[in-house]
Amino acid sequence: MKKLIFSLLLLASGAAVQAQDDKTILGAGATFPYPLYSKMFSEYDKGHGTKVNYQSIGSGGGIQQLTAKTVDFGASDAVLNGKQDSALSAPVVHIPITAGAVVICYNLPELKEPLKLTPAVLSDIFLGKITTWNDARIAAINKGVKLPGYAITVAHRSDGSGTTNIFTTYLAKVSAEWSSKVGKGSSVNWPAGLGGKGNEGVAGTVKQTPGSIGYIELAYAKQNNISFATIENKSGKFIVPSIESTTAAADISIPEDGKVSLTNTDAKNGYPIAGFTWILVYKDQNYGGRSNGKATEIMNLIWWMTHEGQQFCSALNYSPLPKAAVKVAEKIIKSVTYNGKPVKK
């Protein structure tokens, strides 16, 4: 009798542990959406009693942890490349969550109005070809502005980064020299500059270094009170990065797999250095001994992020998903299975 009671206690204990595990979700990846994700996960826990432990370690790190199956989801501002795809043991889906602007931030306290930059000048700064702030090409764009004569210090990411992928994809589109010499991707060999880890690291470098220029997500620039440039878009208009101009860039046809670039948009009022950020999960969730309940918790969270959670985007300087992107996200979420059967119906 004692053995039976002990066995029942063990079973009950195991069930309690499983239930507790089901209510804790692990994620890792992009720093780009971290301010938004922190808010979303806090609000979701309040309403659903599900804790999300998210590590803001960069898109590359999130993809590595998802590949190793040490997290329930990865987060990336770049779609998986061929090498990353081949490293996976099973198919992964990309679910768009929000769109954001990558801003060109700078530390020039002398300037009383936003710096203007064209694609050609911006690419040559990051190529290391334009090295001082009073260069004639910068001055020509910023007529009437007294530019300082000190050296330009370029700040860039040192880790694998979806923010880097957005920025370098843009540069590769607008500069043939950048495309041939540096290329695009989450990690590149930078021609010039200092590396910083995460959006936080680049923001910190720019804030602490007079004469510096870097690229970070809009929310980080706003939170750290760092100046950022207006960028000339494909239509020839100098566009201020904002929710509105990012939304304009994101209002495009979205493919069924959710994988699309927003850079160098054709939209007349669209900001040209913008991108979606995605949650990545395995298409079939029956792996690593997880339960159907755990899979349901994960997909319920992601469904909420693409629906109710969108209300938190604008206040944190992210663009809510356009209706077309929400429909695509819904289809992708409903395509996720557990042992071959849909998790979310």
- What confidence tens digit (pLDDT) does each residue in 187-204 have? 999 999 999 999 999 999
AA letter at 261: S
Residue 238's pLDDT band, with cuts at 50, 70 and 90, is very high
Task: Report, as an integer, the average pLDDT of 264-286.
Answer: 97
pLDDT of residue 57: 95
Locate CATH 3.40.190.10 in the chain: 24-99+276-342, 101-274
Task: Report, as an integer, the average pLDDT of 288-317.
Answer: 97
Q: Distances in Å between the alpha carbon of 50 and those of 45, 75, 251, 338?
A: 5, 18, 32, 20
pLDDT of residue 22: 74
CATH 3.40.190.10 fits 101-274, yes or no: yes
24-99+276-342 CATH fold: D-Maltodextrin-Binding Protein; domain 2 (3.40.190)
Strands (E) in the chain, as ranges, are 24-29, 51-56, 73-76, 92-106, 116-117, 153-157, 194-196, 212-217, 227-228, 230-232, 238-239, 274-282, 337-338, 341-342
Q: Distances in Å between the alpha carbon of 41 and those of 28, 307, 329?
A: 13, 14, 18
For the chain, give the percent of residues with pLDDT over 70: 94
